[in-house]
Amino acid sequence: MIVKCLTKFFKFGLVSIPLIALIFAISSSVCLASCNQIQSDLSSKAVEKRLLPVGQVTIGADLPTSPAELGPDAGQKRYESNCALCHAGGLAGAPKFGDKAAWVPHLAKGMDTLLQSVIKGLNAMPPRGGCTTCSDEELKLTIKYMTDKVK
Ligand code: HEC
């Protein structure tokens, strides 16, 4: 009886041990794959990306808008940090800073149109001249700083 029982147990064991090992291997690899997924979703880049719109809204709400709040050299500062990249050297067809002849056709459009061009972007110029944190008022002061130099 005991012998019969033992042989049955071993037969079962011979089949079931690799089977259990296989199930274990499959389930653990599934777990590893999904764990990696979770880990990559928690990477600082992914988290930053998810937080970004919230941060932008907060920054946007706090943006100073009046020229008085922005200070007298706001236009120059923004020009130097965001626009000089293209406009200092006339990159990609940008009207060069201080180059009166290059600015003539642009000045003729008037401030409102120039502001709209910068807000929406124009040909090689990205929307807002690439300054996503600049308020409309800041962009206007920056354009004024640039155009005053060629009047
Ligand atoms: C990536 C390069 C680039 C950057 C950065 C850039 N510009 Fe420009 N900008 C251009 C180009 C190119 C043009 C000429 C577009 C055309 O007329 O085809 C232009 C044209 C303009 C004009 C004339 C628009 C018109 O309607 O004629 C203004 C004003 C201007 N830029 C202001 C700015 C201001 C202000 C900034 C910074 C906030 C800025 N740009 C940043 C490339 C740039």
The string of pLDDT tens digits covering residues 3-60 is 665 566 566 666 665 555 555 555 555 545 554 454 555 666 665 666 555 544 444 5
Cα 125 to averaged position of ligand 1 atoms, centre (Å): 5
Q: What is the pTM of this model?
A: 0.69
Contact predicate 140/89, CB 8 Å: no
Which atom of ligand 1 is found nearest the CA of 106? 27
Say yes or no: 74 and 9 in one domain. no
Residue 9 lies in a domain: yes
Total structural domains in the chain?
2
| Predicted confidence (pLDDT) at residue 144 exceeds the cutoff of 90 | yes
Residue 50 lies inside a defined structural domain of this protein: no
How many Å lie between the centroid of ligand 1 and the Cα of residue 113?
Answer: 12
Residue 52 in any domain: the answer is no
Yes or no: say if 76 and 145 are a contact pair by the CB < 8 Å rule: yes
The verdict on 20 and 88 lying in the same domain is no
Q: Does the C-beta of 83 come closer than 6 Å to ligand 1? A: yes
The boundaries of the domain holding residue 76 are 65-148
Instruction: Kindly state whether residue 89 falls inside one of the protein's structural domains.
Output: yes
Residues 134 and 76 in one domain: yes
Residue for token pair 């011979």 = 14
Give distance in angstroms: CA of 32 to centre of ligand 1.
Answer: 50
